[in-house]
Amino acid sequence: MTKSIISWVGGKAKLMWLINLLAPPRYERSIDVFGGSGTVTLNLDCPPSTLKVYNDFNANLVNLMRCARDKPLALMREIGFLTLNSRDDFEVFKKFIEKEEFNEQDLKQELKLTEIMISPPTVEEAKKLLLKSAEEKDVKRAAIYYKLLRYSFNANGETYGGKKCDVRRFFVDIWRFNRAFAEVTIENKDFEKLIKQYDRPKAFIYCDPPYYDAEGFYAVIFPKEDHIRLHDTLAKAEGFVMVSYNNAPEIVELYGDFFIFHTTRANSMSHKEGEVYEELIMTNYDPRPYIMQKNHQMNLFSFLSVLTEGDYTLIHEPQQALKK
């Protein structure tokens, strides 16, 4: 499994075996709508030449992903220079992340003022300096956010965990991530706009939204209306759709027109050893023919690996599949 550069609330590393098992065998593009750590984008068993799209609505996270893909050396250098050794430092960096100190509009305004206030021979030089400053602040913001996630409790970037962290250990992760994400399209859009933009009959749309009635664990606000809006958008999709959720009665009812599978995984958010978390994986297509096909193609090692990962059960079957 290809490792992400960060841990993330609700990361899907422990469910990749089931996601790949239930996924359609052939599609031309994969759209990871709530991309998070990028684990699904990194580890989907995609057909060759698949267009891969990673999206997240968290602007700081997307900036980190773009810097890791496009500016890995600058990001690694910046991470090495940063220090974060106390709760006070943690709060300072958190405030820096939350404040938009240098955005694209600010840059445009400063470039415009440059042309007015500085004589023509030095305008281009000043523009280069301003552009360089904007670029460096993007990397600095990414580095600070990276360390916030590394130091925070349960990788939510909100509460200080106080654990030691040698950033040099993660340089290799960033470099490997850079290679793996080299051809991935990275977006920062609302889920509905993204799905409508990339949806095609031969698309595979994977959604891992903030879980129902668990929004306090996420950095992005996702009210009940958004859960309904997500379902309604996916129900109209032309492509293959898969959605991950917690096992909530409201979600089972909302997705009554989908195939619903139930599974469990170790609960990383719990302090109790052996505690499990119930997950739902829902599809707008019937994945059972694909499961049988994949089981026939598996070698003994792959088959035993799936058996040891866990179990799953079909708990709801709609009258007819939305996608055929």
Backbone φ/ψ region at 41: left (φ over 0), alpha (ψ -120 to 50), beta: alpha
- For residue 96, give the amino acid letter: F
Residue 145 located in a structural domain:
yes
Question: What is the reported pLDDT for 158?
Answer: 47
From start to end of the chain, where are the E strands? 29-32, 51-55, 185-187, 203-207, 240-246, 259-266, 276-283, 312-316
The Cα–Cα gap between 132 and 102 comes to: 12
Q: Residue 301 domain-assigned?
A: yes
Same domain, 227 and 307: yes
Domain that holds residue 161: 71-175
195, 308: one domain: yes
Residue with tokens 């509460």: 159
Instruction: Please check whether residues 53 and 202 belong to one and the same domain.
Output: yes
Number of domains observed in the structure of the chain: 2
If asked whether residues 169 and 110 sit together in one domain, one would say yes
State whether 194 and 305 are in the same domain.
Answer: yes
What's the pLDDT score for residue 186?
97
1 within some domain: no
pLDDT of residue 289: 94
3-state SS, 180-236, equals: HCCCCEEECCCHHHHHHHHCCCCEEEEECCCCCCCHHHCCCCCCHHHHHHHHHHHHC
At 202, list the tokens: 């031969």
Same domain, 232 and 291: yes
What does the pLDDT read at residue 119? 41
Report if residue 137 sits inside a domain: yes
For residue 4, tell me if it sits in a domain. no
> Which pLDDT score, from 0 to 100, does residue 35 have?
96
Say if residue 21 is in the same domain as residue 118: no
Tell me what pLDDT residue 83 has: 55
- Asked which of 117, 152, 175 is the last residue of a domain, the reply is 175
* Amino acid (1-letter code) at residue 100: E
Dmax (CA) for the chain in angstroms is: 73
Tokens standing for residue 136 = 């460096």
Digit-by-digit pLDDT tens for the chain (324 residues) are: 888 888 777 678 889 999 999 999 999 999 999 999 999 999 999 988 999 999 999 999 999 999 999 988 788 778 775 555 556 555 555 554 555 444 555 555 545 544 544 444 455 655 565 555 556 558 888 888 887 887 765 444 444 455 555 555 677 788 789 889 999 999 999 999 999 999 999 999 999 999 998 755 555 689 999 999 999 999 999 999 999 999 999 999 999 999 999 999 766 554 556 577 799 999 999 999 999 887 766 554 454 555 445 689 999 999 999 999
Strand order in the sheet with 203-207: 185-187, 51-55, 29-32, 203-207, 240-246, 276-283, 259-266, 312-316
Map residue 76 onto helix, strand or coil.
Answer: helix
Domain membership flag for residue 154: yes
52 and 88 share one domain = no
Residues with Cβ < 8 Å from 58, sequence gap 6 or more? 219, 220
Whether 144 and 230 map to the same domain: the answer is no
Residue 8 covered by a domain: no
Backbone phi and psi for residue 221, each to the nearest 5 degrees, phi listed first: -75, 130
Residues 80, 224, single domain; the answer is no
**Looking at 126, 146, 175, which one is the last position of a domain?**
175
Final residue belonging to a domain, choices 148, 175, 202: 175
Whole-structure pTM value: 0.79
Chain-centroid distance, C-alpha 169 = 22
pLDDT value, residue 175: 79
Asked if residue 291 and residue 202 are part of one domain, the reply reads yes
Q: Quick check: is 66 in a domain?
A: no
Q: Are 296 and 195 part of one and the same domain? A: yes
